[in-house]
Each structure stands twice: as C-alpha cells, then as structure tokens.
Structure 1
Amino acid sequence: MSDRDGDSALLGPADVRRLAADLGIRPTKKLGQNFVHDPNTVRRTVAAARLTPDDVVVEVGPGLGSLTLALLPACRAVHAVEVDPVLAGQLPRTVERRAPGLSGRLHVIEDDAVRISADRFPEKPTALVANLPYNVSVPVVLHLLAELPTLNKALVMVQAEVADRMAAGPGSKVYGVPSVKIAWYATAKRVATVPRTVFWPVPNVDSALVLLERHDEPRANRKEVFRLVDAAFAQRRKTLRAALAGWAGSAERAAELLTAAGIDPGSRGERLTVDDFSTVVAAAAR
C-alpha cells in the first residue's frame, strides 16, 4: 500500500473541480449529480456505515470518486454502480492514481441502479453505502434491498426531507409510502445531517445520513402488501374503509378485512405499521 492510500488520497474541492474540468463534465440535474468535495464528510460517512474488513460494498453513483476513495480502505471490495459512461471509465484511473494499493478492491459496473440485476455483481454484496441522487433515492434503495437479499445494512446520503420520510414511524406527519416500504426490509434511523456546502454544485437543500439495518421480512406477499400501502396513502385524508375500497372491491369489503385484521376501518394509513398492512393482506387471502 502506498503512502497515498490513506487520508491523503481523498479528494478536496480543487481536486473535484480539476477532475471534472479534465473530463469536460458539468454536474447535471437530470442525473441528480452533486459531488461531495469535503474529505471530513466522506470520513464521517464511512464511519457511520459500521463496515467490517469483510464487507462487500455497493456504492451507487460514485461520481468522481470522493466516497469511493474513503470506502476502499474500510472493506474487502467496492462494487461501484455508475450510469454515466464517462465517470465509470474514469473512476478506476482515479483510484489507481490516488490509492494504487487499493485499486484491486474496486469493481466498476456501468448500469442503472434502479434496474440493475443481482447477476451483475461478481460477488454477493453485504452493504450499501452511497451518496444517492435526490431524484431516485428511495426507488434505488427499495430496488437494491429487493434484488440483493445479502445486503444486511445500508448507509445512504439523501435529501434531508427524504431521510425523515424513510425513518418515520406510524403517527408521524411525514410517515408514508417510503416509510412503510423501507420498514418491510429494515429498521431505518437518521444518524446525521449533512450541510449543503460540502457539495459541488451546492444544492438548495440539506442532506442527511440514514442507517438501515436489515431484519426478517413479514410473512406476507410483498407485492400485495405494497399495493395495499400505495392504496392507503393515495388519499391519505380518507379513512382506510374508503381509501381501500378500490383495492378490496368495495368499501364494505375493505371494512370487513380491516376488522378481521383487528384494525379500525375508520382509522387512516398513517397509523398502521408494516405488520398491520401485512395482516390485512393475510386476512384477504383467507
């Protein structure tokens, strides 16, 4: 390992801008690109991920490599999923230049993280650590948790409001579809706020880190539970009896199923846990 394989390998603001200029890249809103340029932020992110030397990490949207360079010393391998072909091609060269002793741990996959399949990974990932594009953060997390059952933890940097929704519990004003679907797979906790000033370009919102720890999934049909969740929150001001009429076939049938599951038909979706939704689906299957 060279003497550049530690903190000195990390990218600072001048490094990020120079790399982007060399590649002729301007960050785009379409791809949700906001590059982290603060070494302290990526150090804290990696520390919060609680990685072990045996972890195989998926990083989504590595961009210019700021987080990648901090991840490589902390785990056995990093599988970086990058949809931009220019960035995907540059990342191995950046790692080879700045941390040559760790370059063998990097595997770049040029693909869309919202659609990537498990067979694209040369080994089974155990952790997800990523600064996620704001516009696809929840779909990416849900897709990877479903597609990669070996992922046992995740640490994602997302828009602060999205972080609150991901980690919200029943009864919260921001509890909704993302909260319930994330809870199907994992326990979510917001662990830190990330100021907008550590990004280039500077976004108009703050970010936050969310830690996910996987748990056993409910014993129910996931697709049907997710359909039920979507219906329950499509018109969140309506009672469940009314909101689930389309899903159940009628308001009367919805009330019957809710009562059979031990749930008040006059309550609203924001009061139900993922287990409650699973119980309603189980009642419908009987």
Structure 2
Amino acid sequence: MAHLLGPTDIRLLAQSLDTAPHKKWGQNFVVDAGTVRRIARLSGVGEGDAVVEVGPGLGSLTLALLETGAHVTAVEIDPVLAEALPRTVGERAPEEASRFSVIHQDALTVESLPEPPKALVANLPYNVSVPVILHFLETFPTLERVLVMVQSEVADRLAEPPGTRTYGVPSAKAAWYCSVRKAGEVGRAVFWPVPRVDSSLVLMERREPPTTSASREDVFAVIDAAFAQRRKALRGALAGIAGSPAAAEAALRAAGIEPLTRGEKLAIEDFTHIAEALASGTVGA
C-alpha cells in the first residue's frame, strides 16, 4: 500500500522543491489521505484500468489511484512538479511505480496518451475545469467515466438539468457526452491553501451522443449562441447563426420549439433538432 501524503508531508515536500501552490495554475493541493482515497473509491477504477489524472500537483491523489491497481498517467503543466512526481511515487509507492508515467504539458493541448484512458480522475484547477473535461471527452472516446473535484458552482453548472437557474453551456455540452451527477461535497480544510470557495465531486458516465444528422460542432454552435445572452428569447439569440430573426424562428418552428423559449429550457436533444433545421438549408426558403 502506498504511503499517502498528509499535511506535514505536503509542506515538507513543497519546501524541498522550493515551491508553493501557484495561483496562475489554480493550484490547491489536497492534504487529506481520506479525501483522496474516497475519490479513488468513487471513481470505480481498479486493477489494470488506464487512468489519466490532470493536475496531480505533489501527488496526493496519484498515490491513492495507484493503490487501486490502476495504470496512471498524470498530466502536469508545472515543470517543477512534473519533474518531482516520479521521484515521489518511487519513494512512497515503489511497487506501483512501474504503472505510473507523467506528461509535462498543458492539459488543453494533450492529443495522445501512452494508452487509451478508461477514466479521468482529477482535482481540477478551477479556472480551466470545464474546458479540460470537454477536451478530454472529445479527444479520448475510450473514456467511460470522469470523476473530478471542482468548484461547487462549476459542479452545479455541469450537473443541473434544463429549467434550473444554473443550467447553461457546460450542462448542455456535458450532456452530449455523458450522464452527469454530483457525487458529494468536499470541505475546504482538506486543501492547501484553503480556498475561498466550496468544492464538489462530479461523476460523468459516458453514453452515446444524441442521434442526429447535425455535427457536434453545429450543435455546440447553437448551444453557444443560445446562452450568449441568457435573457434573450431563442428567436433573437439564434439570429446571428441563422442569418436573421425570421430564419431563426423558422428553424425553431421546424424543430418543434416555440421561438420565444429561452435556452435554459432546452435539453440536448432540442439543440440537436435546431442544428438539424439550420443545416437543412430550407428554413429560410
């Protein structure tokens, strides 16, 4: 079993590397062994599973994931931490070290990994959490599950259903790929430094995208336009991509949607129907 990192370990390790959490990379290191074991357990990963971890930091969650028997590839943007992580794993989990690798790279630019990942498990930097999740879901179709710790407000935006106050672009785009639900709350005291916001766990399980003749890019363009001005009815919000308010209204009616509806009322299937109508080329005829 790996020797997990506690609060004193984290601070001593950071001190030995002459580093500290960097705000520019959104770093808040987890200092509680119980929390990382809980995340590893909820992720459902196990013996032989290929897991990608984004933003491993000093290795708290990395060690807990290796305990499960998984093969872990960590993606770390911080050069000091990327260089130090293999040494930490070698010292604290020597029997698991052969199942670990690290990539020093911005997660938003990752296009390939040593092996196709089955799961993404991460304590994500708050400032890039949604873009990272969507990038990995699109880039790696082998991903079956995503379990991430994010700011609670972001968790709400990912998991809320249509018609709720926080439903928006992240919710709709995530629904293209996955069923999404919150999987628990995480107290502020488990982080160094202690953040000023609450955190939550979000579990995303891959499903087939909606059946549609429209491309994902076209559907996402409709989603972006629908939420660009949240208070605007869809007839006006979609006028830009449709060519005019009249064309937008025609597309909405063809999709079976009332033109004065707002974007937050629509499910992912509704956005696909709108994209199909816009792509048909007949709505303005």
Cα deviation per residue 1:112-170 (whole Å; 9 max; x = unaligned)?
1011112xx11111100000000000000000001111001010000000000000110
Deviations 1:76-124 (A, max 9, x none): 3000000111101111100110110000010101111011112xx1111
Aligned to 2:88: 94
- Equivalent-residue separation in structure 1 for 2:32 and 2:226 (angstroms): 41
Aligned match of 1:114: 108
Describe the SS at the equivalent of 2:142.
coil
Length-normalised TM-score, structure 2: 0.96
Which residue of 191, 197, 202 corresponds with 1:205?
197
TM-score normalised over the length of structure 1: 0.96
* Aligned amino acid, residue 62 of structure 1: P
State the one-letter code of the partner of 2:95. G
Alpha-carbon deviations, 1:45-100, whole Å to 9, x = none? 11111113231000000000000000002143000000111101111100110110
1:222 equivalenced with 2:251 (yes/no)? no
Q: Report what 1:152 is aligned to.
A: 144
Aligned to 1:273: 267
Q: Conserved in 2, the CA contact under 8 Å of 1:81 and 1:111? A: yes
Within the candidate set 60, 64, 67, 1:70 is matched to: 64
Q: Alpha-carbon deviation of 1:284?
A: 1.6
Aligned to 1:132: 124
Q: Does residue 187 of structure 2 align to residue 195 of structure 1? A: yes
1:46 maps to 2:40:
yes
Cα RMSD after superposing both structures: 0.8
Contact 2:108 2:135 in 1 (8 A): yes
3-state SS of 2:45 partner: coil
Question: Within 2, Cα distance between the matches of 1:227 and 1:244?
Answer: 10
After TM superposition, the runs of 4+ consecutive aligned structure 1 residues lying more than 4 A away are: none
Answering whether residue 252 of structure 2 is matched by residue 239 of structure 1, we say no
- Report the number of matched residues: 278
Q: Distance in 1 between matches of 2:51 and 2:12?
A: 27
**8 Å Cα contact 2:29/2:57 also seen in 1:** yes
> 2:36 and 2:249 mapped to 1: Cα distance?
49
The secondary structure found in structure 2 opposite 1:70 is: helix
Tell me the SS of whatever aligns to 2:174.
helix
Rounded to whole Å, the distance in 1 between the matches of 2:173 and 2:77 is: 25
Residue 96 of structure 2 aligns to a residue in which SS?
helix
